[in-house]
Amino acid sequence: MTDTLPSIAFHEPRIPQNTGNAIRLAAVTGATLHLVEPLGFDLSEPKLKRAGLDYHDLASVSVHADLEALLATDPSARVFAFTTKATTRYSDIVYRPTDILLFGPEPTGLSEEVLGHPRITDEVKIPMLPSRRSLNLTSSASIVIYEAWRQADFVGGA
């Protein structure tokens, strides 16, 4: 939707409200949202529609059969995998419009298999207090996409 921001990718999302909120996030920022199957819900589910409000038509959303199908959309894209196990902070990266920001399913996060994929450029974390398990999926994506947009001086924003 925009050539300024990276893409957000949810790998096997499980909670329709989070995906609905991510659709809204994509609509208000102009980022593309990629959903990697299997999804834990039907895209026509009322909870997803309600969480996304009336933003569905304003968002760029693509559904992919698997991770390989997503990665085939741009074979040269950098892929940042978000995990609490990482040492690189999200704020230490200079984001590019061609990057893919990959987030795992609730409540498990990305699997070791995905984290070990050869296309993963780096594992990235959002700092939080010790002994906390995780941050909400769409909250995490929001933090990172807004950092990427800030780095682009909020081009296109009002």
DSSP states along 69-130: HHHHT-TT--EEEE-TT--EEGGG----TT-EEEEPPTTT-S-HHHHT-TTEEEEEE----T
Tell me what the pLDDT averaged over the chain comes to: 91
pLDDT at 43 over 90: no
pLDDT at 52 over 60: no
Q: Which residues contact 2 (CB under 8 A, 6 or more apart)?
A: 29, 30, 31, 32, 97, 156
Report how far residue 149's alpha carbon sits from residue 6's, in angstroms, rounded to the nearest whole number. 9
16 in a domain, yes or no? yes
For the entire predicted model, the pTM comes to 0.92
157 in a domain, yes or no? no
Feature table: binding site: 104, 126, 134
pLDDT confidence band for 2 (50 / 70 / 90)? low
How confident is the model at residue 50, as a pLDDT?
58
pLDDT confidence band for 30 (50 / 70 / 90)? very high
Average pLDDT rounded to a whole number, residues 100-129 = 96
156 in a domain, yes or no? no
- The boundaries of the domain holding residue 53 are 7-151
Average pLDDT rounded to a whole number, residues 12-26 = 91
58: CATH: 3.40.1280.10
Q: What percent of the chain has pLDDT over 90?
A: 74
1 in a domain, yes or no? no
Report how far residue 7's alpha carbon sits from residue 26's, in angstroms, rounded to the nearest whole number. 9
pLDDT at 47 over 70: no
pLDDT at 8 over 60: yes
126 in a domain, yes or no? yes
Total number of domains in the chain: 1
Backbone CA torsion sign across 144, 5, 83, 106 = positive
Residue 46 Cα to chain centre, angstroms: 22
> What angle separates helix 137-151 from helix 16-29, to the nearest 10 degrees?
10
94 in a domain, yes or no? yes
2 in a domain, yes or no? no
100 in a domain, yes or no? yes
Feature table: binding site for S-adenosyl-L-methionine: 104, 126, 134
